[in-house]
């Protein structure tokens, strides 16, 4: 069977707000259980929600970053269902009139259209021990942005790529910290194949998990179809350890939600000021940046993608280029040597790095020498200091001739090989001499001297 699957995703993104959505409890991760709670987020009767303006600003910013249409007025609804992690018996969400409609995320495998984006509160966190279930309400009431895609993804791989790009965009926009291991982005997927039942997969906490679960489910469903079995609409969950999806609820047991407009909260009005404020400091999105890097700097798609992984990296790259370094040189260095060291604040200033890279570009410094200079710069030396300490490349003919003579004299066997016609032995001599010079010997000059020395002796 080669039918195209129909895949849609619902992504829950934790907004990077200092306080929860409806109370002032802090949102720091890893606090002792139930230490970040108050009557509001514990759902005590009589406690009332007050919307957190910072969370709203971040939500609007997220929606604008994804190209969605933000509604002037949206409303909150209570979504009722029974589960112990839900202290009020309902979750405050936006059902009928969400914060935003539409939006899109470009991926190399085609654009992913968004249906809607809305604000909602997180639930508590259950942890199951052998004989009991514990509830931590620290997460209860944290602000989430739910992003719902159209059922337009064509495969497991695209789902994962989409999520990675989405994550990058939201981190760029400063909307989410993107820390997946802390549950900052969680995902439900739904999938149907060739008119079969719609299967929802819950409990997807990693992008790799999404890919694997969807791939598993596609395989399971197409096998079922090949064997003539009907695929039932149901809810499944991803079992990471067993590497399989398992049935959670069949259609008959479907969770019955009911909604009620939230009477405790007035409509959420997004005025022109707030919209301007949210749009104001919105950075260039990673996909735009990536394309610009390819177009303007002539970088390969892989290099552009690598450099736009984080805003810090991309901004740093551009600053180095602006300071006079050739783009390709800067890209190669940053994705190579530069990517191994520290990030962000630990890096030398772009102007300093540009100085170093110019030395390299003009052959006054070997790649090995550049490595040494860079290492010194990371300890706080300026480019000039580090260059002086390491020294520029040695072009002193007399020194290089002496060096070459020593190396040749010390390796009679290699010399014999070379003279016997094994030209590769030359590389050995160059390497040995380079090492003896601490990486500072000018490679081309050294080569010339070695060749003439070896040939002269022959005569």
Partner 1 sequence: MARGLAAGEISSRELTEDFLRRSERWQRTLNAYIEITGDRALATAKRIDALRCRGEKLGPLAGIPMALKDNISTRGVATTCASRVLAGYIPPYDAAVVEKLGDCPLLGKANLDEFAMGSSNSTSAYGPACNPWDPARSPGGSSGGSAALVAAGCAPFSLGTDTGGSVRQPAAFCGVTGFKPSYGRVSRWGLLPLAPSLDQVGVLTPSVEDCALVLQEIAGHDSRDATSAGMSVPDYRAALGTEVSGLKIGLCPEVLADCSRGVGSALAEAARELEKGGGQIISVSLPFLEEAMGAYLLIASAEAASSLARYDGVAYGYRPLSPTLAEMYLGSRVFGPEVLRRLLLGVCSQGKGGGNYELGQRVRRAIVSRLDALFGQVDLLLLPVVSHPAFRLDEEPDPLAMHYNDLYSIPANLAGLPALALPCGFSEGLPLSLQLMAPRFREDLLLAAGSWWQRRTDWHHRRPREVCS
Give the residues lining the site for Zn ion (CB under 5 A).
23, 25, 38, 40-41
CB of 45 to partner 1, least distance (A): 4
Which of Zn ion, partner 1, none lies near 41, with the C-beta cut-off 5 to 8 A by kind? Zn ion
CB of 357 to Zn ion, least distance (A): 51
Nearer to partner 1, 133 or 300 (CB): 133
- Binding residue (CB under 8 A) for partner 1 from 16, 36, 78, 440: 78
* Interaction of residue 399 with partner 1, rule CB under 8 A: no
- Binding residue (CB under 8 A) for partner 1 from 127, 219, 243, 258: 258
Which of Zn ion, partner 1, none lies near 49, with the C-beta cut-off 5 to 8 A by kind? partner 1
CB of 305 to Zn ion, least distance (A): 40
CB of 54 to partner 1, least distance (A): 16
* Interaction of residue 254 with partner 1, rule CB under 8 A: no
* Interaction of residue 252 with partner 1, rule CB under 8 A: no
Which of Zn ion, partner 1, none lies near 45, with the C-beta cut-off 5 to 8 A by kind? partner 1
* Interaction of residue 295 with partner 1, rule CB under 8 A: no
In this chain, which stretch among 75-83, 99-107, 315-323, 442-450 interacts with partner 1, using CB under 8 A? 75-83
240 class by beta-carbon count within 10 Å (0-12 exposed, 13-18 middle, 19+ buried): middle
Nearer to partner 1, 80 or 225 (CB): 80
- Binding residue (CB under 8 A) for partner 1 from 31, 115, 232, 265: 265
CB of 92 to partner 1, least distance (A): 11
- Binding residue (CB under 8 A) for partner 1 from 12, 31, 33, 51: 51
Counting other chains too, the contacts that 332-339 makes at CB distance below 8 Å and 24 or more residues apart are 332/303, 333/357, 333/360, 333/370, 334/307, 335/303, 335/306, 335/307, 337/370, 337/371, 337/374, 338/374, 339/306
Which of Zn ion, partner 1, none lies near 48, with the C-beta cut-off 5 to 8 A by kind? partner 1
3-state secondary structure the chain: CCCCEEEEEEEEEECCCCECCCCCCECCCCCCCCCCCCCCCCCCCCCCCCCCHHHHHHHHHHHHHCCCEECCEECCEEEECCCCCCCCCEEEECCCCCCEECCEECCCCCCEEEEEEEEEECCCEEEECCCCEEEECCCCCCEEEEEEECCCECCHHHHHHHHHHHHHHHHHCCCCCCCHHHCCEEEEEEEEECCCCCEEEEEECCHHHHHHHHHHHHHHHHHHHHCCCCCCCEEEEEECCCCEEEEEEEHHHCCCCEEEECCCCCCEECCHHHHHHHHHCCCCCHHHHHHHHHHHHCCCHHHHHHHCCCHHHHHHHHHHHHCCCCHHHHHHHHHCHHHCCCCHHHCCCHHHHHHHHHHHHCCCCCHHHHHHHHHHHHCCCCHHHHHHHHCCCECCHHHHHHHHHHHHHHCHHHHHHHHCCCCCHHHHHHHHHHHHCCCCECHHHHHHHHHHHHHHHHC
The contact mask relative to partner 1 for 83-102 (x = CB under 8 A, - = no) is -x--xxxx------------
* Interaction of residue 48 with partner 1, rule CB under 8 A: yes
* Interaction of residue 47 with partner 1, rule CB under 8 A: yes
CB of 46 to partner 1, least distance (A): 4
Q: What angle do CA 385, 386, 387 make, to 5 degrees?
A: 95
Which of Zn ion, partner 1, none lies near 363, with the C-beta cut-off 5 to 8 A by kind? none
* Interaction of residue 160 with partner 1, rule CB under 8 A: no
Task: Mention every residue, 6+ apart, whose C-beta is less than 8 A from residue 441.
Answer: 366, 393, 394, 400, 403, 433, 434
* Interaction of residue 44 with partner 1, rule CB under 8 A: yes
* Interaction of residue 20 with partner 1, rule CB under 8 A: no
- Binding residue (CB under 8 A) for partner 1 from 30, 45, 280, 420: 45
Which of partner 1, Zn ion, none lies near 82, with the C-beta cut-off 5 to 8 A by kind? partner 1
Question: Widest CA span of the chain, in angstroms?
Answer: 102
CB of 178 to Zn ion, least distance (A): 24
Nearer to partner 1, 43 or 443 (CB): 43
Nearer to partner 1, 265 or 319 (CB): 265
- Binding residue (CB under 8 A) for partner 1 from 12, 80, 179, 328: 80
CB of 266 to partner 1, least distance (A): 6
Q: Residues in the site for partner 1, rule: CB under 8 A?
A: 39, 43-51, 78, 80, 82, 84, 87-90, 258-261, 263-266
């Amino acid at each position: 069977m080669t039918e195209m699957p129909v895949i849609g995703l619902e992504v829950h993104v934790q907004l990077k707000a200092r306080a929860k959505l409806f109370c002032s409890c802090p949102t720091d991760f890893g606090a002792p259980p139930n230490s970040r709670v108050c009557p509001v987020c514990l759902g005590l009767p009589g406690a009332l929600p007050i919307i957190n303006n910072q969370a709203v600003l971040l939500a609007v910013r997220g929606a604008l970053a994804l190209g969605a249409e933000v509604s002037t007025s949206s409303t909150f609804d209570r979504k009722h269902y029974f589960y112990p992690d839900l202290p009020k018996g309902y979750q405050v969400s936006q059902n009928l009139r969400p914060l935003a409609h539409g939006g899109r995320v470009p991926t190399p495998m085609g654009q992913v259209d968004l249906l809607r984006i809305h604000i909602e509160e997180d639930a508590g966190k259950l942890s199951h021990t052998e004989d009991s279930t514990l509830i931590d309400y620290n997460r209860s009431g944290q602000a989430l942005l739910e992003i719902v895609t159209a059922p337009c993804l064509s495969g497991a791989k695209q789902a994962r790529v989409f999520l990675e790009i989405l994550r990058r965009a939201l981190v760029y926009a400063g909307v989410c910290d993107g820390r997946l291991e802390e549950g900052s982005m969680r995902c439900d997927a739904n999938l149907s194949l060739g008119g079969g039942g719609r299967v929802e997969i819950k409990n997807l906490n990693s992008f790799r998990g999404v890919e694997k679960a969807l791939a598993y489910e596609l395989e399971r469903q197409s096998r079922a179809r090949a064997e003539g079995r009907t695929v039932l609409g149901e809810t499944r969950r991803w079992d990471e350890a067993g590497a399989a999806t398992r049935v959670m609820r069949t259609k008959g047991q479907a969770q019955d939600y009911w909604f009620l407009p939230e009477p405790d909260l007035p409509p959420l009005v997004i005025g022109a000021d707030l919209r301007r404020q949210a749009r104001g400091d919105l950075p260039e999105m990673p996909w735009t940046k990536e394309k610009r890097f390819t177009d303007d700097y002539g970088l390969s798609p892989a290099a552009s993608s690598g450099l736009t992984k984080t805003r810090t990296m991309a901004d740093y790259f551009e600053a180095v280029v602006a300071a006079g370094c050739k783009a390709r040189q800067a890209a190669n260095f940053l994705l190579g040597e530069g990517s191994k060291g520290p990030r962000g604040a630990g890096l030398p200033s772009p102007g300093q790095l540009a100085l170093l890279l110019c030395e390299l570009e003009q052959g006054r410094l070997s790649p090995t020498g550049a490595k040494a200079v860079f290492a010194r710069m990371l300890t706080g030396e300026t480019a000039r200091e580090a260059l002086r300490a390491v020294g520029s490349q040695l072009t002193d003919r007399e020194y290089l001739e002496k060096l070459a003579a020593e190396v040749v004299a010390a390796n009679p066997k290699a010399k014999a090989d070379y003279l016997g016609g094994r030209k590769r032995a030359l590389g050995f001599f160059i390497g040995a001499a380079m090492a003896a010079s601490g990486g500072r010997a000018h490679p081309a000059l050294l080569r010339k001297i070695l060749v003439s020395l070896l040939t002269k002796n022959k005569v």
